[in-house]
Chains A and B, each alone.
Chain A
C-alpha cells in the first residue's frame, strides 16, 4: 500500500473543498482547505477528481510500496451543472427557484462583475420587468416616480429590511457593490411575509460568503463622460471624468471568519452641477461554534457629498442660447444646491439548525440615514433610525410539509426640520405553509401587521397569500394571489415645506396603500438550449398615496387618492446556443397601467409607466476574453406629471462591454449608452450620457 496526498486548487490557486478524489473503489473528500489523503495500492494507479462546477481531472501516478507521493490537483473550471438556482427570499427560506409561487429574477455576481457598475441599482436595472426612474425602482410599474419618497418595493440586505425610516425610499449604495454576490428580485405582492412596502416586490441583496483562508480584492475604476452630442448643449470646456478604488479582504477558518471592505469614488457628473464624492466602509464577521450554529455580525457605512442638479433649465432660467431648454444645464436659481448624506447599518443574526426538521433564525438590526440639503435660500435636514428585530422558524412537521412562522418588529424614529420629530412602529406575526400533494405544491400563509404612529393610532392590516406550483412535463406552472400594503412614510404624513412657492402641508390621517396581486406563470425549457419564463400579472391597488396639488387652496398635500390597475405580461428567454460560450437573454414586459376613474377625475394612464420595456443581452466568451452588449428599450411615457408638455421620447440605450481575465487579474471595459442617446424618464432630469469605464480587479 501507499499514500497519495496533496491539495486541490482551482485555476486561480484557491483551495477547493468537497472534491471527490478517487482511485478504483477508494475515494476521499478534500477538506475545507482543499487537502486530501488517499490510501492506494502500490504501483501505477489512476487518480480521478471531480466536483460540480469543474471539469473532470485524471492523472496516472506511480506510488512506491510503503511510501507516499504528493500530488497537487489543479481543477479546470467547467460547465456548471444546469439546475434551478437556490433562492431564499420568495418564501423566507431556502427553496429551488422553480418551486417559488411568484416570479423571481436573479442577478448573479457574474452579471454584476461584467457590467462593472458602481452601485447595485445599475445592474438590477437590466432584470426583467424592472426599471429605475431617477433612482426609484419600479417592478412591473409599481412605484412610478415620487422623488424617491415612499418606495413600493422593499429592499433587504441579507434579509434585513433597509427602506429609509423617514422617507421610505431606498439607498442603493448602502452596501458596496463589490460585496454583493447575488440579488433576488421577487415580483408581486410580498406583504404576506414582509409587511409594509412589499407592495410591488422585494429586492434582497445577498452579500458574499466568507471563504476559508486569506483572500482579497482590489478594484480600480476610471472613466469619462461623453460630451453633449450637439454644440449648442455644451456646458463645460473639459471632459468630465469619474473613478474610484475599492479594497476588500477576508480571513476565514473553520470557526471564525471576517471581512472588511473600504472604497471611495469621485464623479464630475455628466451635466452641470453634478459632481459627487462617495466613500464607504463595510464589515462582516461570522462565528461557527458548531456545525449547526452560525452567528453573524455585519455592518456598513456610506457617505456622500454631491451637488444637486435638480431640474434642467428652460428659457428664463439660464442662458439657453436661443433654445427652449438646455438639458445639460441647471436653472440658475438652483446654483449651489448640494447635499451631504450618510447611511449605514448594523445587523446581527443567529442561525441554528436544530434538526433536519427544525431550524430557527433571530436577528436584530439598526439602520440609520441622515441628510442635509442646502439650497441657495434655504436648507433642510433629517435623521432617521430604523430599529428592527425578527424571530423566525422553519419546520417540517411532516415529510410533505414545510412551515415558516415568525414575528417581526420595526421602530422608526425621525428628527427633522421639515418632517418634525416622530416615531412609527410596525409589529407583525406571520406564517406560511407549503404542502406537497404528489407533484403539486400548495402554499397558504398570512401576516398581520399592527402599525402605530407616535405611539398611538394603531392600525391592523392582514395580508394573506396563496399559491401553487405544478410541474407539467418539462415545465412548471405557478399561480398566486396575495394582498399587499404600504404604510405611509413619516415624510408623507408630516412633511411641512414649500415647493415652488406652494406650501406642502402635513396629512397625519393618511392610511396604508393596499393592493391585491394575481399572477399566473409558466417556465419551461424549449429544446436543448432555450429556456422560457412567462407570467401574466394583475394588480388592483387602492388608496395610493400621491402628492395632490390643490389649485383652489394653492397647496400641496400627500393624499390617499388613486385607484389603479396594473396588468401585463412578463416574458424572459435565455438561450445558450453555443453552450456557455454564448449566453443571450431577452426580457419583455407589456404593462397596462391605468389610474381608475374617481368622482372628480376620469380614467387615465398612470403616470411614469412605460407600456413596453424590452431588454436584450448577449455575452460571448472565448478563452480569457469576453464580449457583451445590453440593449434597453422603454417606450415613451404615456403620461408624466407636472411638466406634461415637456418633450419626451422613448429610451433606447445600448451598452457594450469587454472583459479579459488572466489569472487573478480581470479587466472590464464598459461603454454605457454607447450611442450617446439623450433622453429623460422623469421631468427635466437628463439620464446618463455615454460613459466609458475601465475597471481592473485583482483577486487573491
Chain B
C-alpha cells in the first residue's frame, strides 16, 4: 500500500507538471517589437535586392556606426514589395531607438567598403511633432502603437548623407 501511495503521488506530480499547458500562446502584435505599415511611393528600381527595416539606438554618424542596428543581419526580414503598402514587424530588444529606417539594398555582395553604393535610406519614421526629424521610439515588453511611415523609391539617400561630415 505504501508503494501504491508513493506511485500515486509521483503520478499526480507528473500530471500537475503537464496540466499547466503553458506552451506558446497567441500574442498580439508588437510587444518587444516595432510594427506597423509602410506605404510605398515611386517605382521599385530594377536593381533592388531587398528592403529591410532596422532600428538604431544611436543615430549613425560614421561608417563605423552603420552596422550597429537591430535586429542582427541574419534576422533581417525583407519587405514584400508587390503591393502599395505592407505590414511589418521587427523584434527588438527593449529600449530607446533614435532612428527607425527602411534600408534599400542593391543586388550584389555587400561589404562595409561598398555600403555607400549598395545601400540607401528609403524612408524613416518621423517625429509627429517635427516631421523633419526622426521619431524616437521606445520598445517595451507590453507593446507599442503602430509605427507607420513612407518608403519613397524616388527619393533615396546614401548612408553617408547622414555622416558627420556628410558626403557631397
Contacts and interface: CB of A to CB of B under 8 A. Distances in A.
Do they bind each other?
A: yes
Interface of A: 230, 232-233, 314-317, 320, 322-325, 327, 331-333, 499-503, 549, 551-556, 577, 616, 631, 633, 641-643, 645-647, 649, 652, 654, 675, 677-680
B80 A316 contact: yes
A646 B30 CA distance: 12
Contacts of A680: 24
Closest 3 CB pairs of A and B: A315-B89, A316-B88, A554-B110
B78 A500 contact: yes
Contacts of B76: 500-501
28 contacts: A314-B89, A315-B87, A315-B88, A316-B88, A317-B77, A317-B80, A320-B89, A323-B26, A324-B29, A324-B30, A324-B31, A324-B35, A500-B73, A500-B78, A502-B74, A551-B73, A552-B112, A553-B112, A554-B67, A554-B110, A554-B112, A555-B109, A555-B110, A556-B74, A631-B14, A645-B92, A652-B17, A652-B21
Given A320-B87, A324-B31, A554-B112, 18 more contacts: A315-B88, A316-B77, A316-B79, A322-B28, A323-B28, A325-B27, A499-B74, A501-B76, A503-B110, A631-B18, A633-B17, A642-B75, A646-B91, A675-B21, A677-B21, A679-B23, A679-B24, A680-B24
B27 A324 contact: yes
Contacts of B29: 315, 320, 322-324
B21 to A, nearest CB: 6
B27 A647 contact: yes
B127 interface: no
Contacts of A679: 23-24
Contacts of A554: 67, 73, 109-112, 115
Contact of B74 (A232, A314, A642): A642
A230 B21 contact: no
Contacts of B31: 324
A518 to B, nearest CB: 33
Contacts, number: 124
Nearest to A675: B21
Nearest to B50: A501
Contacts of B78: 333, 500-501
The contact size tier of chain B is 35 or more
B23 A233 contact: no
Contacts of B73: 500, 502, 549, 551, 554
Contacts of B49: 501
A549 B74 contact: yes
A554 B21 CA distance: 41
Given A322-B29, A325-B27, A552-B67, A316 B72 contact: no
Contacts of A333: 78, 80
B40 to A, nearest CB: 13
Contacts of A502: 73-74, 110
Interface in B47-101: 49-50, 52, 67, 71-80, 86-89, 91-93
B91 A645 contact: yes
Contacts of A324: 27-31, 33, 35, 89, 91
A616 to B, nearest CB: 7
B131 interface: no
Given A502-B110, A549-B73, A616-B14, A316 B86 contact: yes
B46 interface: no
B85 to A, nearest CB: 11
B22 interface: yes
Given A616-B14, A642-B72, A649 B86 contact: no
Nearest to B29: A324
B3 interface: yes
Choose among A499, A554, A680 the residue with the greatest number of B CB atoms under 10 Å from its CB: A554
Given A324-B89, A577-B3, A652-B17, A643 B75 contact: yes
A316 B87 contact: yes
B108 to A, nearest CB: 9
A549 B67 CA distance: 12
B93 to A, nearest CB: 7
A502 B76 CA distance: 10
Given A554-B73, A554-B111, A678 B23 contact: yes
Given A316-B35, A500-B78, A649 B22 contact: yes
Contacts of B26: 230, 232-233, 323
Contacts of B115: 554
A616 B13 CA distance: 12
B80 A332 contact: yes
B120 interface: no
A316 B78 CA distance: 9
Contacts of A646: 91
Choose among B32, B75, B93 the residue with the greatest number of A CB atoms under 10 Å from its CB: B75
B105 interface: yes
A502 B25 CA distance: 32
A644 B55 CA distance: 16
A568 B34 CA distance: 40
A232 B93 CA distance: 26
B152 to A, nearest CB: 19
Interface string B120-141: 0000000000000000000000
Nearest to B4: A577
Contacts of B91: 314, 324, 643, 645-646
A556 B26 CA distance: 33
B54 to A, nearest CB: 12
A410 B28 CA distance: 53
Contacts of A553: 111-112
Choose among A316, A320, A502, A633 the residue with the greatest number of B CB atoms under 10 Å from its CB: A316
B72 A677 contact: no
Nearest to B32: A645
A551 B72 contact: yes
Given A577-B3, A633-B17, A314 B77 contact: yes
A555 B23 CA distance: 35
A323 B27 contact: yes
Contact of A654 (B18, B75, B87): B18
A648 B86 CA distance: 27
A611 to B, nearest CB: 16
Nearest to A499: B74
Nearest to B33: A324
Contacts of B67: 551-552, 554
Contacts of A551: 67, 72-73
A322 B29 CA distance: 6
B106 to A, nearest CB: 11
Contact of A501 (B3, B28, B33, B105): B105
Nearest to A652: B18
Contacts of B75: 642-643
Contact of A645 (B21, B27, B93, B109): B93
Nearest to A641: B74
A332 B79 CA distance: 11
Nearest to B67: A551
Contacts of B80: 316-317, 332-333
Given A230-B26, A549-B73, A652-B17, A315 B35 contact: yes
Choose among B22, B77, B92, B109 the residue with the greatest number of A CB atoms under 10 Å from its CB: B77
B9 to A, nearest CB: 14
Contacts of B93: 645
A500 to B, nearest CB: 6
A325 B22 CA distance: 17
Contacts of B89: 314-316, 320, 324
A551 B109 CA distance: 13
A333 B14 CA distance: 42
Contacts of A320: 29, 87, 89
Contacts of B72: 549, 551, 642
